[in-house]
Structure 1
Amino acid sequence: MADQMQPSLYDLPQSPPNFDKVGTFYIAFCATWTFLLLLGVTFLIVNRKNPILKIRALGLSLTAILFLHLYWILAQITYPIGLTLPVIVAYDVQYFFMGIWFPLGVALFHASNTRFLYVAKRQKQYAQSPKLRRKKQGCNGAATSWLCRLRNMDYPTRILIYIGLGMILQVLLTVGMWLMCRKYHPTFGIAGTDLPSGTIAEQMIELSRGWEWWPSALWQAIWTWIIAPIMIWKAWGIRDTLGWRFQTIGCCLANLHATPMWLIAMYVPAFTKVNTYFAPSEWIHLSVMCFEIFAVFVPCWLVVRQYRLRKRAADSNAKWETASQSTLRKSSTVEWKTASFIEKGLTIDYLDREMGDRLFTMSALDHVLSENPGPLQEFSALRDFSGENIAFLTNVASWKSSWPGGATEDQIRDAFTRGLVIYTSFISPRDAEFPINIPSKDLKQLEAIFERPARIVCGEARVDPATPFSMDGSSSGADGEADSDRDWIELGEVAGRIQYVGEISEEFDFGVFDRAQAHIKYLVLTNTWPKFVTEIQEQRRSGETERSGNTGKSSSTVVSRVSNLIRSIL
């Protein structure tokens, strides 16, 4: 009779809010952190066109943060107001958030981080050669299997499909286990899955344990202890200037403790007292806060630092470009020295830090682009993930240098075909994998000239976003395998193997790319170029002691080359 009168968890009455010192702290902390996070997110959205943010696929990252932060808020208000709900309803909410909402947020967040590895890999194409890359032969997705269609999709779409399939499985497992487990609904379910008899406290502990929680634990283990270490290993050797590697590795490391500590807090009796004030799920939410720091606040700081660097470069360019060049040449107060930057066998002679900001000028950038753009191209691709900008500038310069002196129809058509290759490779949002960042007005002007011909030549779908042009029959050797020596082609070779024969816009002329070229060149001047010069100067300072005693014939040769460089720049 006594057992029958024992209170049940299902009959437990609701409690008033618990606004003691701990409860007040949780509410105040939740409100403050959410306010700061909203400020950071707003700042990122306002500055979304900044190169540091634009390449990150900000929408995917912020969507993941939204999912994770809503679950984080739920955990912070559990202590003060959690018991105002019926106990079973409160645990139902926690179960579905832990089983569906949180895994989806983590999956989206890691999908945004895997974009880092994808961009780093694809940007290598700009460092390997200044030429345009040929089209890779792939599946004809419209006429073959669904697997080919999947392979032909762009990377973000393909990742979201994988995540969607995984989440469908996760939803089915979570809902199915909830339906089978009688502890959440005593009137139906599998026999033997009821709450065991015992005290209210024991029943509440048992309600947060059990086999129905393991799909969520499995998802977390896969992401944190399989996917994350693989991402750390792949990202370790990448050295970017955007803070993206730091963000990715930081998020992966910050999440390693979450699942083990959650399980320990639930199953180790010594944590019972701690769990009263610091729920087991709070160990997971510590990693959520780290996600938010690395994905929101760190990029905000990087954008502010980038603005300072851009302002310094713009001010230096305005100062020195307006100064009298003849006066600079005659100045006897400046001591010119040299600095060497050696990268993969390439030696570039630059001026050391005594030049101050004199290298942050358009003249210096123009000289490097015309004389030896290779190291800058490699730096922009491997470190700044903006290799398309330098490749665009060098290809436009090459296109202009080959502009026909006459005005015959065939020559104009050949020039238009070459320009069409540049448009589809670097400008078109539909064809270029990394479209250059130009104002919408300039983009619309170029689209009016090239978009219709591009659709005629390339078709409606983006086949290979790196380069939409292919030369049939030239990609295989005698044995049927790809000829690696022909993987890279010159701009003129592309135009020589294809020929646009349709109508050419009357607005097409020698200066069709001038506005885009000027915009991208200024973008490089204020973004990539200062980082490139600064790194060279820092490397020179770090190796200055080692070279201080070396004064031989080679040194005088370097001085001679730098003298020529100064004359070219000034």
Structure 2
Amino acid sequence: MADQIQPDIYSLPTSPPNFDRVGTFYVAFCATWTFLLILGMVFLITNRSNPILKVRGIGLSLTAIAFLHVYWILAQITYPIGLTMPIIAAYTVQYFFMGIWFPLGVAMFHASNTRFLYVAKLQKRYTESSDFQRKPGCNGASTSWLCRLRNLDYPTRILIYIGLGIIVQILLTVGMWLACSKYHPAFGIAGTGLPNAPLDVQIVELGRGWEWWPTALWQAIWTWIIAPIMIWKAWGIRDTLGWRFQTIGCCLSNLHATPLWLISMYVPAFEPVNKYFSSSEWIHLSVMMFEIFAVFVPCWLVVRHRSLRKRAAESNARWDTASQTTLRTSTTVQWKSASHMEKGLALELLDPEMGDRLFTMNALDHVLTENPGPLQEFSALRDFSGENIAFLTRVASWKSSWPSATDEDQIRDVFTRALVIYTSFISPRDAEFPLNLSSQDLKRLESIFESPARILCGEARLDPATPFAVDADGSAKEQGRSGDDWIELSEVAGRIQYAGEISDAFDATVFDSAQKHIKYLVLTNTWPKFVTEIQERRRSSESGRSDRTAGSHSSLASRISNFIHSIF
């Protein structure tokens, strides 16, 4: 078909850069936005230990943003300097970027978004009842490769899926480029070259055709199948971290991209627009929205979180001494009154007039001691930090069970239970959500528990809730990790006992430093959100009741109970 192709398009001379007002705007806007984006990404990396960012696993999302932004830059400089390249080379670069680079970036970005659903699902475990049983899993060390794949941790599995998908996409993209002779008239399938038409028609045909179908189909799947599914699954999750808002915002902002990209290429009415705003720019509007929701919104949330932590710390310092006296001397009236208590929460806790006087360690200790259930549910389902409250309650229970007269068997029993706590909440190798401890505390606990943990758990990363398995004779064995496995910790510790060497540094205070650190994190992170939300809803509930007639005669305790049930 080479004789049907006008050869001048392949030898079309290049043009100088087009720095008119539009071209200058594109360059200036591209440089400014890129600079701001880099500042935002550096800010997030610097604050990656912040609870809002740590649970997100920002590494994958920032890598995806970097991929997408490179393609975004390419689109912004097309108008001012695109004609400085040979036209065939320019369209070839666009073809491969849209066929390989852009799909890889979007795949990684959606993979980072699915972590939201994954974390929300796992955090629900901290609200399960004690009789929740372990589902049968498979031992990845001795069974099929499917089981070994299932036993990998979530980020690794996602990266494997992305790798397999991008390999298929690369093969399709390269294969169709080799088959399409419009980009290389010397070879290719007959009939796939450019039509014998005017030059402007041939240029238009370079940007559309059957070789673009895999990219269009791929975009349609992500934007109109995967994204709506993500929106539907995330809609009922009400977190305090802005993660749901980010996920839904990214999915919604991407819905317009593929339809408008196709319309702008095939509808003649868009030709005047395409001269200054290319067809791919409709896709890059989505990229900008991704960057806003994945970079700038988390930056704002981190700043707001700092303000909240500062307020909680100052309130604790200002009110803690006074609140200790008040709570200890009037527990009968304020905290212990059965008529004014529901689920371990006092009337004063719900009273908006208390303001920030409840942002104290003493108030937190009271709720943790009396009934941590509502706080546990809030931290798991709303704040995605259920491991913190679970750790505090488990450690308190463990310390209260420390025997007064200790023989060797009793020491090994309490050490085994402590080892379960370590592997479930602290160990970076075993815990699904390792606690945010200082390096000093972590190293000290690792020196005491890491060797015994490796003896019982093996070298592989296991399910944090099922670090031990038991044979029929009661002996412990190594078990493969499965994302669906879960078993009550106390039940595990009651069926096995560690028989190896115990560190001399192990005693009843082994978790005290970590407990103090995590309790302060809860005080300055989860606790003020918990108290503030309940007070706001109480205020709203009271306002609604004030508009009703005086026909209701339900008791105060009943109203508080109904209110608490409406929250949780």
The within-5 A match list for 1:128-277 is: 128-129=128-129, 131=130, 136-277=135-276
Q: Give the deviation of 1:49 after TM superposition.
A: 0.4
Tell whether 2:84 aligns with 1:84.
yes
RMSD, matched Cα = 2.8
CA–CA separation in structure 2 for the residues paired with 1:326 and 1:117: 43
| 2:284 partner SS | helix
The Cα of 1:145 is off from its aligned counterpart by 1.4
Residues 142-541 of structure 1 aligned to structure 2 (within 5 Å): 142-323=141-322, 325-326=324-325, 346=343, 348-351=345-348, 352-472=351-471, 489=488, 491=490, 493-541=491-539
- TM-score using structure 2 length: 0.90
Aligned to 1:75: 75
Instruction: State the alpha-carbon separation in 2 of the partners of residues 146 and 5 from structure 1.
Output: 51
When structure 1 is superposed on structure 2, of 465-474 and 360-369 the one drifting more is 465-474
Q: Residue 358 of structure 1 aligns to which amino acid in structure 2?
A: R
Deviation at 1:142, TM superposition (A): 2.3
Cα offset for 1:550? 8.2
Q: Given the superposition, is the C-alpha separation of residues 376 and 91 from structure 1 closer, same or farther in structure 2, using an over 3 Å criterion?
A: same
CA, structure 1 residues 173+501, in 2 after alignment: closer, same or farther (shift >3 Å)?
same
> Who is 1:37 aligned against?
37
Would the aligned equivalents of 2:465 and 2:489 in 1 still touch at CA under 8 Å? no
Mapped to 2, the partners of 1:396 and 1:347 lie a distance apart of 19
Give me the whole-angstrom Cα distance separating, in 2, the residues matched to 1:239 and 1:499. 40
Q: SS of the residue aligned with 2:357?
A: coil
Measure, in 1, the Cα distance between the counterparts of 2:222 and 2:262. 16
Shift, 1:154, TM fit: 1.0
Mapped to 2, the partners of 1:459 and 1:550 lie a distance apart of: 65
Q: 3-state SS of the aligned residue for 2:454?
A: helix
- Could you tell me how far 1:182 is from its partner in structure 2? 0.7
What is the identity, as a one-letter code, of the residue corresponding to 2:371?
A: N
Q: Name 2:25's counterpart in structure 1.
A: 25
Report how far residue 552 of structure 1 moved.
6.1
Q: Deviations over 1:473-506 (max 9, x none)?
A: 599xxxxxxxxxx975352x32220000000000
What's the % identity of the aligned pairs? Answer: 75
Aligned length: 540
TM-score, length-normalised on structure 1? 0.90
- What one-letter code is carried by the residue in structure 1 that aligns with 2:80? P
Q: Give, in angstroms, the shift of residue 410 of structure 1.
A: 1.2
Q: Give the whole-Å Cα distance in 2 for the aligned partners of 1:392 and 1:272.
A: 62
Cα distance change on mapping 1:529 and 1:556 into 2, 3 Å? closer
Contact 1:136 / 1:464 at 8 angstroms: preserved in 2? no
> For 2:356, what is the secondary structure of its paired residue?
coil
Q: CA deviation at 1:200?
A: 1.6
Cα distance change, pair 134–501 in 1 and its aligned pair in 2 (3 A)? farther
Residue 218 of structure 1 and its aligned partner are, at CA, apart by 1.1
Does 2:126 align with 1:126?
Answer: yes
Distance 2:455 2:100 in 1: 45
Partner of 1:478: none
Matches of 2:159 and 2:367, distance apart in 1: 41
Deviation at 1:220, TM superposition (A): 0.5
Q: Deviations over 1:134-180 (max 9, x none)?
A: 65432222222111111111111111111111110000000001111
Could you say if the C-alpha distance between residues 6 and 507 of structure 1 is closer, same or farther in structure 2, counting changes exceeding 3 Å? closer
Q: Is the 8 A contact 1:339 1:537 kept in 2?
A: no
Distance in 2, Cα, partners of 1:402 & 1:338: 25
Q: Following TM superposition, by how much is the alpha carbon of 1:440 offset from its aligned partner in structure 2, in angstroms?
A: 1.1
Residues 241-292 of structure 1: CA deviation (Å, up to 9, x unaligned): 0000000000000000001100000111111111000000000000000000
Q: How much does 1:133 deviate?
A: 6.6
Separation in structure 2 between the aligned mates of residue 501 and residue 243 of structure 1, nearest angstrom = 46
Deviation, structure 1 residue 123: 0.4
1:348 Cα deviation after fit: 3.1
Amino acid across the alignment from 2:540: S
Give the distance between the partners of 2:238 and 2:10, measured in 1 at CA.
Answer: 56
TM-fit CA distance, 1:407:
2.4
Structure 2: tracts of 5 or more residues without a match: 475-484, 561-568
The answer (yes or no) to whether the contact 1:92–1:184 under 8 Å persists in 2 is yes
Distance in 2 between residues matched to 1:325 and 1:150, nearest whole Å: 53
Given residue 178 of structure 1, which amino acid in structure 2 is its aligned partner? W
Task: Quickly say closer, same or farther: Cα 1:551–1:365, change in 2 above 3 A.
Answer: farther
In structure 2, what is the Cα distance between the partners aligned to 1:128 and 1:329? 32
Alignment check: 8 A CA contact 2:344 2:371 kept: no
- 1:12 aligns with 12
Check the 8 A contact 1:134/1:469 in 2, yes or no: no
SS in 2 for 1:357: helix
Looking at structure 1, the residues matched to 71 and 558 of structure 2 have their Cα atoms a distance apart, in angstroms, of 64
Unmatched runs of 5 consecutive residues or more in structure 1 = 476-485, 560-570
